[in-house]
Amino acid sequence: MSPSVLQHARRIVVKVGSSLVTAEGRGLDHAALSRWAEQIAALTGQGKDVVLVSSGAIAEGIARLGWKKRPKAVNELQAAAAVGQMGLVQAYESIFRTHGLHAAQVLLTHEDLADRTRYLNARTTLRTLLELKVVPIINENDTVATDEIRLGDNDTLGALVTNLIEADCLVILTDQPGLYTADPRKNPDATLVMDAHAGDPELERMAGGAGSSVGTGGMLTKILAAKRAARSGAHTIICSGREERVLLRMAAGEAIGSQLVARQAPLAARRQWLADHLQLRGALVLDAGAVRALIEDGKSLLPVGVKGVTGDFTRGEVVAVVDAEGREIARGLANYSAAEARRIAGKASSAIESELGYMDEPELIHRDNLVVLG
């Protein structure tokens, strides 16, 4: 097996499942939370950025309310989430404080990450927290989001957060050693998959269904999460959260669990995503100098090189970049809305603040959010 991809990862998303956080549903496992906090503190001390995506709010709420099993009614699940979130966050905050770290609660829904403006705002918030050496504790906003509760997997949220902050690695801690070729509870010949490529269709065939009455995500959701994370170039590790000092051992290079490696480098994956998957909401028309700066020099798109703006788009939406003849030469994520872009088109970046009253970014499109089309 290859050395752990966590060894050279600088930015990491760690997802822990309900069965680990809540001791199979019997309320929060404070000893387990303490072990992860200790390891995350050590990783932070090594210069790594760590974001924790934690399940457990609904399960903790069920335990606090004295219910014997997970309810099916959405309103009861939302109530359980509201009760359980208090205990979950309180526990993490007090535990991280003993290691000299601040924690921050960030509640997200899939809708937050599908909306480009909210996506950018969430990314900015998370990056700022990491710069401040604060550990973000992320969970789905289960008290208001009904579809996320019905679908019920923080594995997907972990992958979305991995893409959001452009992390190098997603670690999914579960109650299983990793991905097996078949269900080991039913097939004694099943073997652990130690190395594979994320997105390999064979992995989805191997993955079984949900195996816990506490959480709602089975191995298939983890395989699909790895596939999603790989789109931004992130590798995924699926391993047991009950392994002793598992995060620190992997950070030292020890291979544990199943490594699902992304085939693409992050920038290539991001550019492919921009080129292939998003609907265009407008266009920026460039002068010849700006076209050369983008194509030949790999520069960001500054407002000074923009001759015209078409369409109606908001900040964070995808727009076409065209030359004077209307040929699309690139596309990317706009840092300003169409109305704002029209006001600053043709002007120097230094004039943005005086024109708009503020300056979010000096570029109309940053080169990291832009793909030149061949």
Secondary structure (3-state) at 319: strand
Query: What is the Cα–Cα distance from 256 to 230, expressed in whole angstroms?
Result: 19
Secondary structure (3-state) at 183: coil
Query: What is the Cα–Cα distance from 180 to 178, expressed in whole angstroms?
Result: 6
User: What's the predicted TM-score (pTM) here?
Assistant: 0.74
Domains annotated for the chain, with CATH where assigned, are 5-266 (3.40.1160.10), 278-372 (2.30.130.10)
The helix-helix angle for 74-97 and 30-45 (nearest 10°) equals 50
Query: What is the Cα–Cα distance from 219 to 215, expressed in whole angstroms?
Result: 12
Q: Which of 267, 220, 237 is nearest to 2 (CA)?
A: 237
Q: What is the DSSP letter of 185?
A: T
Ordered per-residue pLDDT tens for the chain, 374 residues = 689 999 999 999 999 988 888 876 677 899 999 999 999 999 999 999 999 999 888 888 998 999 988 898 888 988 998 999 999 999 999 999 999 999 999 998 766 776 667 878 888 999 999 999 999 999 887 666 655 433 347 888 898 899 889 999 999 999 889 998 887 778 888 899 999 999 888 888 887 544 433 333 478 889 989 988 998 899 999 999 999 999 999 999 999 999 999 987 776 666 766 765 446 889 999 999 999 999 999 999 999 999 999 999 999 888 999 999 999 999 999 999 999 999 999 999 999 999 999 998 999 999 989 989 86
Query: What is the Cα–Cα distance from 8 to 169, expressed in whole angstroms?
Result: 9
Give the full edge-to-edge strand order of the sheet including 258-261. 103-108, 135-140, 49-54, 11-16, 169-174, 235-240, 258-261, 195-197
Tens of pLDDT, residues 240-291: 999 999 999 999 999 999 999 998 777 666 676 676 544 688 999 999 999 9
The helix-helix angle for 219-230 and 154-164 (nearest 10°) equals 10
Give first-to-last CA distance, the chain, whole Å: 38
